[in-house]
Amino acid sequence: MSDPLTLLLGERVLRPPPQDGPSAAEEATGQGSPWLDTASLADPGRLVGLYFSAQWCPPCRAFTARLTELYRTLRAQDQEHDRVHRLEVVLVSSDAEVRGWDEQRRSMPWGALPFEHRQRKFSLCRKFKVTTIPTLILLDSCNAHVLTKNGVAMVTEDPHGLEFPWAPKTFAQTIAGPLIRPLGEMTDYGVLGDAHIGLYFSANWCPPCKAFTPLLCETYRRVREAGKKFEIIFVSSDRSEESFQQYFGEMPWLAVPYADTQRRESLGKLYSIQGIPSLILLDPGGHLITSTGRVALLDDRLGLRFPWEPAALSQLSPTNAELLNQEPALVLFVDSNEDEELGPVRQMLQPIAEKIVAESKANGEEQPLHFFYAGEDDMADSIRDFTSLPDCAPLLAILDVPARAKFVKDAEELSPSVVQEFLQDYLQGRLEAEPI
């Protein structure tokens, strides 16, 4: 059975190009081969960084210089102490032309995913939800578990690797410290007790935030009046203390003090916040329930389904359709809104979706995609038009709007086995993407 890294990257990756060509000794021992067995990267105590980058990207070129300096510094330290190299890096290029890819990899002291393995590259982007470059994802080399998706920030903040390997902090470690109430009273984070926690990333200058905050206030009140333990912590992105105080005055919950910039930034990095407003839901133990709390709340303004554990399968609605702009989703379109048509669809998809969600949770990973079914309505028509889907039903599609890619199943009849085969082909990177 293949090791986890090999399952991710394939049997072999390219070695870094030699500066002066292989020596006679390397040729005699086979070390002059351009290929490196992926399994050889696995070693206790070693991290493997998947570096998503491109030659045409100026921020990537700037970060490559920083990463190269760190990589060489760590190598020198490891050699000096005669220990295993603690960091290996593999380039996963977004270059569309082989010339740019080759130019980029020749400037780097680490290996690369072969240019022709484009489908595997797309699979890695989907698996780790990479939507921007540069991105550096650090994995445990032995089990391929994600240690951090914020490698770019880690390298930028610690360019000499003084705190490497940057063990990720827990929520409890990150939130530790004083919190502030709306009237200025300071309290300790221990006040959270055994409540479910919402981290609200927002700012006074952000119109969507200003529109969402009153809705959140109302739902927060309803949930607490129903006797449920729920605390919210405002994590501000405001540009001044005055703006923070004005905005926080509209809220009935706690906040990280504005002056505590480091803790505010650390919380954003811990949950990979890329836009606001964003509502993260945690259980009383500080474990993530959902990173899409805003969508969940808009779909349940009364808070009846609090704490909004993600449903394995949902009917596509104007509210939850927002998730299509954020993450990949499997959608089964039918040509009716009648329950006699939708009922069998739910029965077919439910166990498939639940299995994928359960497997992801057991592996400590985020689920790779959402699962929806859609009836015949204006919203479904708009999604079909936007993604240029065929005008037929039933129609099974996987839509990856952030990556501008779609995968469509052309089948006269849909059955559980057809859906499962299509899904596994997608997850294993065997499907050819069509552009959106």
The reply to whether 306 falls in a domain is no
Of the candidates 157, 186, 215, which is a domain's last residue?
157
Q: How many CB atoms lie within 10 A of CB 178?
A: 13
The string of pLDDT tens digits covering residues 401-422 is: 877 889 998 777 889 999 999 9
Residues 146 and 184 in one domain: no
Of the candidates 298, 331, 356, which is a domain's last residue?
298
Q: What pTM was estimated for this model as a whole?
A: 0.72
The reply to whether 309 falls in a domain is no
Q: How many CB atoms lie within 10 A of CB 396?
A: 20
Q: At 28, is the pLDDT very low, low, confident or very high (cuts 50, 70, 90)? A: very low
Residues 84 and 177 in one domain: no
- Give percent above pLDDT 70 in the chain: 96
Residues 23 and 145 in one domain: yes
| Three-state secondary-structure class, residue 212 | helix
Residue 32 has pLDDT above 90, yes or no: no
Q: At 173, is the pLDDT very low, low, confident or very high (cuts 50, 70, 90)? A: very high
Residues 76 and 48 in one domain: yes
Pairing of strands 370-374, 314-315: parallel
Residues in Cβ contact with 264 at an 8 Å cutoff, skipping those fewer than 6 apart: 235, 236, 237, 256, 258
Residues 207 and 129 in one domain: no
The string of pLDDT tens digits covering residues 186-243 is: 998 888 999 999 999 999 999 999 999 999 999 999 999 999 999 999 999 999 999 9
The count of structural domains within the chain is 3
User: Considering just the CA atoms, what is the radius of gyration of the chain in Å?
Assistant: 24
Phi and psi dihedrals of 246, rounded to 5? -65, -45
Residues 186 and 93 in one domain: no
pLDDT score of 30: 46
What are the residues facing 282 on neighbouring strands?
197, 288
268: domain CATH number is 3.40.30.10
Residues 84 and 184 in one domain: no
* Distance, C-alpha 363 to centroid of its chain: 15
Residues 355 and 390 in one domain: yes
Residues 56 and 152 in one domain: yes
Q: At 2, is the pLDDT very low, low, confident or very high (cuts 50, 70, 90)? A: low
| Mean confidence (pLDDT) of the chain | 89
What are the start-end ranges of the E strands in 285-369?
288-290, 314-315, 329-333
Give me the mean pLDDT over the 348-373 stretch.
87
The reply to whether 427 falls in a domain is yes
Give me the mean pLDDT over the 152-168 stretch.
90
- Show the domain range for 125: 4-157
What are the start-end ranges of the E strands in 31-164?
35-37, 47-53, 87-93, 111-112, 135-140, 146-148
Residues 151 and 13 in one domain: yes
Residue 25 has pLDDT above 60, yes or no: no
- Give percent above pLDDT 90 in the chain: 62
pLDDT score of 410: 75
The reply to whether 203 falls in a domain is yes
Give me the mean pLDDT over the 21-36 stretch.
55
The reply to whether 164 falls in a domain is no
Q: At 176, is the pLDDT very low, low, confident or very high (cuts 50, 70, 90)? A: very high
The reply to whether 356 falls in a domain is yes
The reply to whether 165 falls in a domain is no
Residues 113 and 179 in one domain: no
Block residue for tokens 């990333």? 201
The reply to whether 250 falls in a domain is yes
What are the start-end ranges of the E strands in 251-295?
254-255, 278-282, 288-290
Of the candidates 107, 125, 157, which is a domain's last residue?
157
Residues 192 and 249 in one domain: yes
Q: At 310, is the pLDDT very low, low, confident or very high (cuts 50, 70, 90)? A: confident
Q: How far apart are CA 410 and CA 408, in angstroms?
A: 6
Block residue for tokens 């960084």? 49
